[in-house]
DNA sequence: CTGAATCCTTTAAGATACTG
DNA sequence: CAGTATCTTAAAGGATTCAG
């Protein structure tokens, strides 16, 4: 398991089935299409009536009914019936609904932080090499590892800003992802690590390094491949949203 | 995450659609039936091979394949192909998978904390009364509010240790939940608040209070209705798991 | 105004059998 | 050993219509 030992272990583990079941119940609500929309809307604009909310979110009545029923039953939203004429119903955020949004905000911050740090995908280095490279990159970068480039998924490649791989891997079974890596049609830059110089840098977003590779050499190579010199020291300045927009263009 | 409302408002709000979408993606994974099982299993017992994991969890191969594919594509699990003979495949927790479990643990702690504090359900007090009662109870109790007892859901009643309601509400439209409240067949105790004494305490888990109700009077009444004198000062001692077992018997 | 009732489509999950 | 292929079921989301 790839946990860096230097950080003191908070190591809260989900040991019991009951705990995991609790998490699944909470996550199930957050995963529903309209739950968070309703919660944030209620938090921002105080109480809402049914049709107000319906118009605001652009959701069909059945779905909103289902959603609000679940949220009130789980104590995240308060439903108040006002009997004055004309009678109406108000929905407002409950204390637990507020608390849940704080947790949701942590989740967003977590993914945001990973998006903000450039991601380096280390492909199939032998274990000692892998550990060495990962250690060098662990500050300032999000590091992912993949055993064989043949099994690389499109999603992983999309998350990567730089792919770091041993050259011999690039000679094996061809895949379309591999082709895209070599012809430079991916957003990610490529660092080839080879045992002997082979002049493989086939496009301007590819760099070749020959073993033995030094730490500064690797970091420098990675840095040149990031968009306009954005590196770990500048990673903090670009928000998660900025990077998301960058990547989805 | 211990969110105490009296601390200055961290008030992280989920303002953008992108943030809510991120949360939904993460929550969707946690809500899946086997994701957390796989993650905790990998965390506890190092790397696993496919069939090992399959036997351990008692899951069909298709479902495990789907689950592992999603977890590796999202970078939570590392998949390593060992080509020595006999060749085999290993799955292990990735750094992000470890981080996600920390968040999951916070979610479990959050629901656990709510379970650990006795829950008082305040039914349909007029707004000023409601605020007054809720304020008195806010330390040491989880407080929920419901506007009309007629709309009380079974789930809410099950979460409640004590139901605090105005007596006139109990005379209106009958529901089965209301019957259960009055005949004492619910786990929850009942505090009736009336304007004039009416001798309504029909069972030993019901208490009648006459306005004006004093803070100490209310807190004392609530305390007598909790199982064997467990109150807010003892709430910390009983773990979330203990209370869950209590309630599900 | 606030939903309930109906119908349709998609997807997770499980069971079962089969393959490189 | 490590999956894939097929089929079935159940629940969620959505559109539309109807009702208290």
DSSP letter string, B117-132: S-EEEEES--HHHHHH
Higher per-residue confidence, B150 vs B138: B138
pLDDT number for residue B215: 93
pLDDT, one tens digit per residue, over A94-150 is 999 999 999 999 999 999 988 889 999 998 767 777 778 988 998 889 999 888 887
**Cis peptide, bond prior to residue A212, ω within 30 of zero:** yes
Q: Do A2 and B78 touch (CB under 8 A)?
A: yes
Closest CA to B29 of B66, B1, B2, B60: B66
Nearest by CB: A73 against B75, B95, B155: B155
Average of per-residue pLDDT across A9-38: 86
Find the Å distance, CA of residue B212 to C1' of nucleotide C12: 55
**Summary mean pLDDT of chain A:** 81
Say yes or no: A112 contacts chain B, CB-CB below 8 A. yes
Strands lying side by side in the sheet with B88-93:
B48-49, B88-93, B77-82
User: Cα separation of A109 and B103, whole Å?
Assistant: 11
User: Which segment of A115-129, A198-212, A225-239, B41-55 scores lowest on mean pLDDT?
Assistant: A225-239
- ∠ CA(B69), CA(B70), CA(B75), 5° rounding? 100
What is the location of CATH 1.10.10.10 in chain B?
17-114
What CATH class has B119-248?
alpha beta
H/E element, A191: strand A189-194
User: Cα separation of A39 and B234, whole Å?
Assistant: 32
Chain D bases having any atom below 7 Å from a protein CB = 1-6, 12-17
Query: From the CA of B140, how many Å to the nearest CA of chain A?
Result: 14
pLDDT, one tens digit per residue, over B190-202 is 998 888 776 665 6
CA distances to A236, B27, B148, B158 from B155, rounded to whole Å, are: 44, 22, 15, 5
Say yes or no: A180 contacts chain B, CB-CB below 8 A. no
- Give start and end residues of each alpha helix (H) in A58-196: 61-73, 95-116, 127-137, 154-159, 167-171, 176-183
Say yes or no: B9 contacts chain A, CB-CB below 8 A. no
Bridge-based pairing of strands A119-123 and A77-82 is unpaired
In CATH, which of 1.10.3720.10, 1.10.10.10, 2.60.40.10, 3.10.20.30 is domain B17-114? 1.10.10.10
Q: Which residues pair with residue B81 across a beta bridge?
A: B89
Residues of A in Cβ contact (< 8 Å) with B112: 19, 22
Q: What are phi and psi of B122, to 5 degrees?
A: -95, 115
Residues A102 and B12: beta-carbon distance below 8 Å: yes
Which of B8, B23, B72, B112 best probes binding to A when mutated, by most A CB atoms within 10 angstroms?
B23
In the DSSP assignment, the letter for residue B47 is: -
Nucleotide nearest to B60 (CA to C1'): C14
Q: Is the pLDDT of residue B237 over 60?
A: no
Strand stretches in B39-175, DSSP E: 48-49, 77-82, 88-93, 119-123, 142-146, 162-166
Q: Do B145 and A28 touch (CB under 8 A)?
A: no
What is the location of CATH 3.40.50.2300 in chain B?
119-248
Highest mean pLDDT among A98-102, A204-208, A240-244: A98-102
**Summary mean pLDDT of chain B:** 81
């Amino acid at each position: 398991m790839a946990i860096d030992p230097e950080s003191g272990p908070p190591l809260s583990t989900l040991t019991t089935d009951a705990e995991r079941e609790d998490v699944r119940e909470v996550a199930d609500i957050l995963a529903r299409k309209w739950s968070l929309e309703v919660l944030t809307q209620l938090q921002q604009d105080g109480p809402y009536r049914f049709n107000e909310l319906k118009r605001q979110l652009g959701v069909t009545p059945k779905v909103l009914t289902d959603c609000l029923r679940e949220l009130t039953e789980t104590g995240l939203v308060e439903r108040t019936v006002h009997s004055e004429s004309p009678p109406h119903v108000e929905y407002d955020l409950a204390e637990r609904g507020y608390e849940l949004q704080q947790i949701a905000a942590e989740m967003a911050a977590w993914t945001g932080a990973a998006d903000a740090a450039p991601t380096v995908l280390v492909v199939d280095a032998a274990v000692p090499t892998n550990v060495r490279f990962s250690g060098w990159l662990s500050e300032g970068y999000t590091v992912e590892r993949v055993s064989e480039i043949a099994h690389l998924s499109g999603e992983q490649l999309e998350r990567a800003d730089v792919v770091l791989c041993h050259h011999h891997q690039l000679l094996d079974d061809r895949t379309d992802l591999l082709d895209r890596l070599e012809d430079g049609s991916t957003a990610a830059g490529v660092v080839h690590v080879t045992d002997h110089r082979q002049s493989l840098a086939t496009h301007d977003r590819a760099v070749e390094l020959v073993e033995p590779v030094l730490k500064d050499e690797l970091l420098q190579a990675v840095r040149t491949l990031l968009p306009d010199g954005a590196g770990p020291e500048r990673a903090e300045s670009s928000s998660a949203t900025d990077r998301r927009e960058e990547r989805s263009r």
